[in-house]
């Protein structure tokens, strides 16, 4: 049973009545804060482990599916900058005569 506010002349305290007694606001806030902190830490640890597992799986899959242009004549991975070509539509090129 929840008693919304138990007020006296000195203070008002939110109290929660349960089968063994009364739980005051500061106790409720303490356990709530500790529970949220434990949940945050647990979520961080689970996320960290999950991310490392996904990264390992992704790297293994990427190394198995290399395109031939990433390999040299010996079949080794080329670790240098590759040439990139970009084709443009002639209508997109602005001349000096064109208005912006």
Alpha carbon distance 53, 57 (integer Å): 6
Residue 100 lies inside a defined structural domain of this protein = no
In this predicted structure, what is the pLDDT of residue 100?
A: 59
Number of domains in the chain: 1
**Which residues form the domain of 48?**
2-71
SS3 for 74? coil
Burial class, 64, CB count within 10 angstroms (exposed 0-12 / middle 13-18 / buried 19+): exposed
CA dihedral (33, 39, 42, 45) positive or negative = negative
Question: For residue 53, what are the CA distances in angstroms to 40, 41, 42, 63?
Answer: 20, 19, 17, 16
Q: Which residues pair with 6 in a beta bridge?
A: 13
Q: Which residue has the higher pLDDT, 15 or 50?
A: 50
User: Considering the domain boundaries, does residue 90 fall inside one?
Assistant: no
Tens digit of each residue's pLDDT (9 = 90 or more) over 25-65:
788 889 999 999 999 999 999 999 999 999 988 887 777 77
Task: Please report the pLDDT score of residue 88 as a whole number.
Answer: 75
Residue 91 lies in a domain: no
pLDDT tens track for 59-97: 877 777 777 777 788 877 777 877 778 777 777 666 666
- pLDDT computed for residue 1 by the predictor: 44
| Mean pLDDT value across residues 9-17 | 57
* pLDDT in the model for residue 45: 97
Tell me if 14 is assigned to some domain: yes
In a domain, 29, yes or no: yes
Flag whether 95 is in a domain: no
Tell me, yes or no, whether 89 lies in a domain. Answer: no
The pLDDT of residue 22: 62
Whether residue 58 lies inside any domain: the answer is: yes
């Amino acid at each position: 049973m929840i008693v919304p506010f138990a007020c006296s002349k000195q203070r008002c305290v939110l109290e929660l009545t349960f089968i063994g007694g009364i739980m005051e606001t500061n106790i409720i806030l303490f356990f709530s804060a500790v529970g949220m902190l434990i949940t945050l830490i647990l979520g961080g640890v689970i996320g960290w482990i999950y991310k490392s597992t996904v990264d390992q799986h992704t790297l293994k899959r990427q190394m198995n599916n290399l395109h031939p242009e990433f390999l040299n004549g010996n079949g080794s991975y080329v670790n240098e900058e590759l040439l990139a070509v970009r084709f443009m539509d002639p209508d997109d090129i602005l001349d000096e005569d064109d208005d912006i």
